[in-house]
Amino acid sequence: MRYCKKCVMPDTRPGIKFNSEGVCSACIAHETKAKVDYDKRFEELKTICDKYRGMNGAGFDCAIAVSGGKDSHFQVHVMKELMHMNPVLFSVEDNLTMTEAGKHNLRNISEEFGCPIIALKPNIKLQKKLCRETFERYGKPTWYLDRLIYTYPLQMAIRFNTPLLVYGENVSYEYGGEDAKETYSAREILKNGVASDISRDELLSYGCVDEELSFIDAPLKEEIDKLDPIYLSYFIKWNSVTNYAFAKKRGFHDLTGEWNRTMCAENFDQVDSYGYLVHAWMKYPKFGHACATDYASRFVRYGLMSRDEAIKLVKEKDAKLDPNCVRDFCEFCGYSESEFWEIVDRFYNAELFNKNEFNEWVLKEEIL
């Protein structure tokens, strides 16, 4: 395993690429932003908005996929207050135990900006079944939720006849991934690897009923072709920390005083619920990096932290899955904690990890 010479991202991140000088594609993409004329792109966004403004008469001009988080606050601000659009917001709740911050933030985004939110509360029985199956088979415990986060806004934009559907950042381009090309169009968002497809036949073999699965279906190509889904990060220089600073001024709550997460380098990203973060952490046994690496790398790119400081943070945090996440996930799915850790153990990559004398997994290679 080798690490980016500028940040602390390893080459085991799925889809990430390194150049001949050992710099990862996410750092290269970030440096490229300095050459972009964002004033010109902002005018391009205005032109797109003008195309769809008022197209539904008294209806909505656009739709925005939101979670209630810091980026959602920023997205709604841009579309409602800067572009003067009339958006409808589509969100997916996860049925896991919400934090107080999470409860507040989803309400706040509607109250602060004056927008309706149409939220999907997934089938709890189906979610439990699929959480268990995809966790045990693939180490992807929230695959069902992540799939809904991508498919539900697409389906609803079609139903509401709001072709302009706004997403936040292009995660593959911003942070490194298989589909890491810079484009304003989010028409191929389902190819970014976050919620990759599982065949209908396999899902039915888990005991699912066909009609229960309709919300995770990708719309037909001819339906998607009627949409104009966009990444806001193409038009506005994207920065997780500045988005957070903006959101705080508009009432967004981080986890200060509520929850100090053991495996995270910050307290403001994915703050909605407890058990959901098990999925994000499962990158650690499989790929040797997780939540702390993700944000420490961003902090280095943003000039907020040195690489040496990032290395120290990753060593301290990355391996430590927070016990609140484990308890909430186990309670929801019906696992004992020993059953949970037995499943996790199956996903440790023996090429990256050794077991020490305490039967704990330890990375073979230190960050250089």
pLDDT digits (tens, 9 = 90+) for 91-133: 999 999 999 999 999 999 999 999 999 999 999 999 999 999 9
Per the domain annotation, does 250 fall within a domain? Answer: no
Beta bridge partners of 90: 65, 118
Per the domain annotation, does 43 fall within a domain? Answer: yes
Beta bridge partners of 87: 62
Beta 164-167 vs 228-231: how paired, if at all? parallel
Q: What is the pLDDT of residue 359?
A: 74
Taking 50 as the threshold, does the pLDDT of residue 346 lie above it?
yes
Per the domain annotation, does 51 fall within a domain? Answer: yes
Q: How far is CA 240 from CA 243, 292, 298, 304, 368, in A?
A: 5, 14, 8, 12, 26
Helix axes 143-159, 124-138, angle to 10 degrees: 130
What is the mean pLDDT of the segment spanning 257-270? 97
CA 185 to chain centre: 18
Distance CA 354, CA 104 (A): 42
Distance CA 230, CA 165 (A): 6
The candidate with the shortest Cα–Cα distance to 163, out of 41, 49, 67, is 49
What torsion, rounded to 10 degrees, do the Cα atoms 130, 214, 180, 344 define?
Answer: 0
Per the domain annotation, does 242 fall within a domain? Answer: no
Percent of the chain having pLDDT more than 90?
A: 86
Q: What is the pLDDT of residue 368?
A: 47
State the residue for tokens 């799915």. 333
Distance CA 352, CA 345 (A): 13
Task: Report how many domains make up the chain.
Answer: 1
Taking 60 as the threshold, does the pLDDT of residue 287 lie above it?
yes
Per the domain annotation, does 19 fall within a domain? Answer: no
Distance CA 327, CA 305 (A): 32
Which structural domain, as residue segments, surrounds residue 192?
A: 35-235
Distance CA 173, CA 21 (A): 19
Beta 353-355 vs 361-363: how paired, if at all? antiparallel
List all residues 6 or more positions away from 31 whose beta carbon is below 8 Å from its beta carbon: none
What is the mean pLDDT of the segment spanning 288-310? 97
CATH number for 195: 3.40.50
Per the domain annotation, does 117 fall within a domain? Answer: yes
Mean pLDDT lowest among 54-58, 66-70, 204-208: 54-58
Taking 90 as the threshold, does the pLDDT of residue 361 lie above it?
no
Per the domain annotation, does 319 fall within a domain? Answer: no
For 65-86, give the DSSP string.
E--SSHHHHHHHIIIIIIS---
Per the domain annotation, does 70 fall within a domain? Answer: yes
List all residues 6 or more positions away from 150 whose beta carbon is below 8 Å from its beta carbon: 189, 190, 194, 195
